[in-house]
Chains A and B, each alone.
Chain A
């Protein structure tokens, strides 16, 4: 059935592909050009992934540390003092340390892991492979995007080691708290470094995003019309567009903040009396920053979520051996989400004193997003319906993603409605909501992607048994951790409280907090196991022996098992059909490269 593919001799090893004379831009490769300053999109994707994994371990570890404080507020952990010194004197996490941990956990996971690590990895890996291009439109820009990300990482890491510690005003860094060193120790030098790191990060995102968009628009192989693209590519396309349009707004907001901090301007500052002194600043607006921040901040949620949606669509379709249901509806709903993502930012600001009329407009637009989201969920369900589902670890994570997306999406309907938001805003309910829908769900999409495309990345499989354990513990753990947190929110408990003992009405969840902490430690340990599985399998995993191990239709599986720089050894294959001909006319699957037969049924 795959006779339409190019069958190339001797493509089983990576070296075979490398010395192929098809790529004009190919020089003699050294270790440095191949693995470090590589311009090969696949290597850059792996660089993003591995850097993302390291960041995820750091960010996850921070959450374990502050969960220790939440679960066992009365206990001391001398080991903490050993590692963190004055920040955890006597084995107790100081409030300053707690807030630094929370802030870094948020920043790291939202930006460095789920933006750079997720779309950075899979956009780089999949866009050229799935549209049929030898590399990105500009491999150099692509390489720079990784190295700007790397520099951002270095600055952010460095900020954790300075005397006054990293930024500690929450990942949203609202001024005046983040603008005034007097207000918080984390708002001293750590905050400047946070801004610099984020500025570098924005540069990285823009370089990457422009590259993704131009590659998708200009470098598709012959026959690959836009509506024949796999949904992964569409999702990554929308992600890139969102990033290009919204990250600059964040940058502008941060630059104004930098000015307020260091040059005495008053963009965000007004009427402040702090530390026994009245500051000279008058006329600024603290709310302006929130508008600028959330103009990125909300699209950012979809920057994180869309790639996961795209990959899950692909993985579920491949493994249920059925076409994705409603391709055009999926595409349309992603487009709708993309547009609406820019029109809902003020739903994060319902209780800032926003004009009530403006608030009501944002309620309407926010709840509108539920419509395309619902379409997507029903389409995924219908994709599974009457399929013939293979539960690879990737497929399980795909199903888990849908489950979490439903759970977290529905609680969004509570928060998007300003009337309920007045009550639940900034409570633990919000924490539960966005961790499920944006945090864990996107991680599930990322895991699905890693398990599914690992054979393409390294020519080996990851260990399946460890994959299944990873899935089940994470799935059960995610619900055990975040489901009960909704109840804390419904009790009115504010977020970012590290010790509830002085509160009459919030201190009744002691046992629950303990349970959540224990589960989160277990879940974190299982993630470490995944990381181990990942690195172990790179070197020792079972080798892939067939070109197309999952029986998928898309172009990446027509490349050699270990594709070199340039991806295809012969000519780039031509595409004749959409990416989802599974189970058609009694055939298991029909690759995109196969010409449409004379008697083939239409869809």
Chain B
């Protein structure tokens, strides 16, 4: 019913507008087309000026209403995010100035040089000096912006520090999964044909690779990703099925997860989750991982969370975790068999092939 009313109102409004428009055309013919054209011209010139003024007020009002809802520029939660924010600020200032000047001139000229019988248009086909100025000035401003941009870009994408902790994050429709290396600080090899969630191998780890034996697996659906504050972390990013993207808005970072082509991203979180709860005044605050690359029907719900905590809290949490390898063995030899048989089963033929392919 509501829809029907809306459509009826639209149709009616349209009919009225159309009748007025038609009538005004006749009136114009009767009153003299030239005269009414000039009048319309004045009205439009005035409206353009009004648009400029109201528009600029609107820009201010919009900012006033929404600035509190965006991520505060300059308060990113990672070291790299601070660089991004700084670049954003410089660009905002530069483009803001240009925006006000050019929009101002556009509408002001339109108003000021509206048609008038008293004035004749000024024949001004070109002026080399002027053109040179507005080639060179933007070029200089842009060079500065590019300069900063590239320096920051190299800093952000440069190699991760040696002491960085490594975490692997894997996207699939529509969830995130994490893998932490154990005491050996290295992730074991994996091969996608080994993936077998029923046999406790959701990521396709190759059990023959000893680096895998202490790797801890958690699913994003059960648990957040754990990171340590002020400790660099290098994410190794994978996807199982289609392209996803690890979007970390509060850290101002993002990297695609591409099936078949692992990517990496490193940064140092600088604020714990608890700290952010206080800063944002939101007791429910969590760092969220959003999938930023369209990945299918559940794209919207592909959400992960991150806890940034102190080293102690992290160690405590990590100590409570069992390696996936142990879980696999438990599943294979139910507890009765005891943990004495914690030896890997003989490699199947295709595992060897898989290993060979990895080399």
Instruction: Name the B residues within 8 Å of A505 (CB-CB).
Output: 249-250, 288
* A384 contact set on B, CB distance < 8 A: 106, 109-110, 113
Contact check, B21 vs A466: say whether CB atoms are below 8 A apart: yes
The distance in angstroms between the C-alpha atoms of A278 and B195, with both chains bound, is 8
Known: A77-B3, A183-B173. A498 touches B300 (CB 8 A): yes
Known: A329-B126, A389-B115, A529-B14. A79 touches B3 (CB 8 A): yes
Tell me which residues across on chain A come within 8 A of B298, comparing CB atoms: 95
Contact with A along B260-278 (1 / 0, CB 8 A): 1101100000000000000
**A:392-449 near B, CB below 8 Å:** 396, 399, 402-403, 406-407, 410-411, 413-414, 417-420, 422-423, 425-427
CA distance A278 to B146 in the complex (A): 44
Contact B150 A360 (CB under 8 A): yes
- CB interface residues, A 162-206, toward B, < 8 Å: 169-170, 174-177, 180, 183-185
A391 and B41 alpha carbons, distance in the complex (Å): 6
Q: Is B53 an interface position by the 8 A CB rule?
A: no
- The distance in angstroms between the C-alpha atoms of A359 and B67, with both chains bound, is 31
Given A399-B48, A422-B156, A363 and B150 contact (CB-CB distance below 8 Å) = yes
Let me know if A378 is at the binding interface, CB within 8 A: yes
Partner of A176, one of B17, B241, B255: B241
Instruction: Give B116-131 interface residues, CB cut-off 8 Å to A.
Output: 116, 119-127, 130-131
- Does B309 touch A at the CB level, under 8 Å? no
Query: Do the beta carbons of B123 and A603 come within 8 Å of each other?
Result: yes
Q: Tell me whether A463 is interfacial, beta carbon within 8 Å.
A: yes
Give complex CA distance A419, B154 in Å: 9
Contact call B55/A419, Cβ cutoff below 8 A: no
Counting CB contacts under 8 A, is A494 at the interface? yes
Task: List B139-163 residues whose CB lies under 8 Å from chain A.
Answer: 139, 142, 145-146, 148-150, 152-154, 156-158
Q: In the assembly, what is the distance between CA of A378 and CA of B109, in Å?
A: 12
Asked if A320 CB lies within 8 Å of chain B CBs, one says yes
Contact present for B113 and A320 (CB under 8 Å): yes
Residues of A within 8 A of B135 (CB): 371, 374-375
Q: Which B residues are in CB contact (< 8 Å) with A418?
A: 149-150, 153
Q: Mark A257-294, 1 if CB is under 8 A from B, else 0.
A: 00000000000011111101010001111110000000
A496 to chain B, nearest CB (A): 5
Most chain A CB within 10 A, of B59, B126, B245, is at B126
A353 CB contact (under 8 Å) in B17, B154, B255, B285: B255
- Cα A220 to Cα B2 in complex, Å, equals 58
| In the complex, per-residue mask of B1-29: 1 if CB is within 8 Å of any chain A CB, else 0 | 00100000010001001101110110011
Give residues of chain A (213-243) contacting chain B, Cβ–Cβ below 8 Å.
Answer: none
The answer to whether B70 touches A490, judged by C-beta atoms less than 8 angstroms apart, is yes
Once the chains bind, are B154 and A271 in contact (CB under 8 Å)?
Answer: no
Please give me the residue from chain B that is nearest to A169 by CB atom: B294
Query: 1/0 contact trace for A375-389 toward B, CB 8 Å?
Result: 101111110111111
- Residues of B near A371 (CB, < 8 A) are 135, 138-139, 142
B98 sits at the interface (CB 8 A): yes
Given contacts A286-B261, A320-B121, A328-B126, contact A386 B113 (CB under 8 A): yes
A-B pair count, CB < 8 Å, reads 376
Q: Is B91 an interface residue (CB 8 A)?
A: yes
CA–CA, A502 to B284, complex, Å?
12
The answer for the CA separation of A564 and B116 in the assembled complex, in Å, is: 37
Asked if residues A490 and B103 are in contact (CB atoms below 8 Å), the reply is no
Q: Is A583 an interface residue (CB 8 A)?
A: yes
Interface size on B, residues (CB 8 A): 123
Contact residues, B91-120 vs A (CB, 8 A): 91, 94-95, 98-99, 102-103, 105-107, 109-110, 113-116, 119-120
In the complex, whether A321 has a CB less than 8 A from a CB of chain B is yes
CB contacts under 8 Å to B, within A480-503, are: 483-484, 487, 490-492, 494-500, 502-503
A529 to B149 Cα, complex, angstroms: 45
Taking a contact as CB atoms under 8 Å apart, the answer to whether B62 and A503 are in contact is no
Contact B138 A464 (CB under 8 A): no
Which residue from chain B places its CB closest to the CB of A283 in the assembled complex?
B260
A residues less than 8 Å from B247 (CB atoms): 426, 492, 494
Residues of the B chain whose Cβ atoms lie less than 8 Å from the Cβ of A504: 282, 284-286, 288
CA distance A476 to B55 in the complex (A): 9
In the complex, which residue of chain A has the Cβ closest to the Cβ of B59? A483
> Which of A35-43, A128-136, A467-475 makes up part of the contact surface?
A467-475
Inter-subunit contact A352/B256 (CB<8 Å): yes
* Complex CA–CA separation, A492 to B301 (angstroms): 15
Tell me, in angstroms, the Cα distance from A282 to B358 when the chains sit together: 12
A325 at the interface (CB under 8 A from B): yes
User: Which residues from chain A contact B40 at a C-beta distance below 8 Å?
Assistant: 391, 464, 468
Q: Say yes or no for B310: interface residue by CB 8 A criterion.
A: no
A525 to B51 CA separation, bound complex (whole angstroms): 21
What interface size band does chain A fall in?
A: 35 or more
Closest chain-B Cβ to A90's Cβ sits at a distance in Å of 15
Which partner residue on chain B sits nearest A170 by CB separation? B294
Stretch at the interface among B80-88, B210-218, B316-324, B327-335: B80-88
* Interchain CB contact under 8 A, B125 and A417: no
* Known contacts A271-B259, A353-B261, A391-B44; is-contact A325 B126 (Cβ 8 Å): yes
With a cutoff of 8 Å between Cβ atoms, the chain B residues found around residue A322 in the complex are 121-124
Any B CB within 8 A of the CB of A368: yes
CB-defined contacts of B286 to chain A, threshold 8 Å: 504
Are the CB atoms of B250 and A463 closer together than 8 Å? no
- How far, in whole Å, are A568 and B314 apart by their CA atoms in the complex? 83
The residue that B87 contacts in the complex, of A287, A375, A419, A465, with Cβ under 8 A, is A419
In the bound complex, do residue A284 and residue B260 qualify as a contact, i.e. CB atoms below 8 Å apart?
yes
Assess whether A584 is interfacial by the CB under 8 Å rule.
yes
Q: Which residues of B contact A342 (CB under 8 A)?
A: none
CB-nearest residue of chain B relative to A425?
B254
- Asked if A323 is at the interface (CB within 8 A of a chain B CB), the reply is yes
Contact check, B47 vs A472: say whether CB atoms are below 8 A apart. yes
Q: How far is the CB of A171 from chain B (nearest CB, A)?
A: 10
Of all chain B residues, which has the CB nearest A583?
Answer: B121
Closest A residue by C-beta to B28: A464
CA of A283 to CA of B192, assembled, Å: 13
Q: Show 22 A/B contacts (Cβ-Cβ < 8 Å), sorted by A.
A: A94-B297, A99-B296, A174-B294, A176-B243, A276-B197, A282-B260, A326-B125, A379-B131, A384-B109, A387-B122, A391-B115, A396-B48, A419-B153, A422-B156, A423-B88, A463-B25, A464-B25, A469-B21, A490-B70, A491-B249, A496-B294, A603-B126
Cβ-closest 7 pairs across A and B? A492-B249, A270-B260, A353-B263, A465-B21, A356-B157, A583-B121, A391-B44
**Other A-B pairs beyond A359-B153, A483-B62, 15, CB < 8 Å:** A77-B3, A174-B293, A285-B260, A324-B125, A360-B153, A381-B106, A386-B122, A386-B124, A391-B115, A406-B98, A407-B99, A419-B149, A426-B292, A465-B24, A583-B121
Contacts from B to A (Cβ < 8 Å): 3, 10, 14, 17-18, 20-22, 24-25, 28-29, 37, 40-41, 44-45, 47-48, 51, 55, 58-59, 62, 66-67, 69-71, 73, 81, 83-84, 87-88, 91, 94-95, 98-99, 102-103, 105-107, 109-110, 113-116, 119-127, 130-131, 134-135, 138-139, 142, 145-146, 148-150, 152-154, 156-158, 172-173, 192-193, 195, 197, 204, 240-243, 245, 247, 249-250, 252-256, 258-261, 263-264, 282, 284-286, 288, 290-301, 303, 357
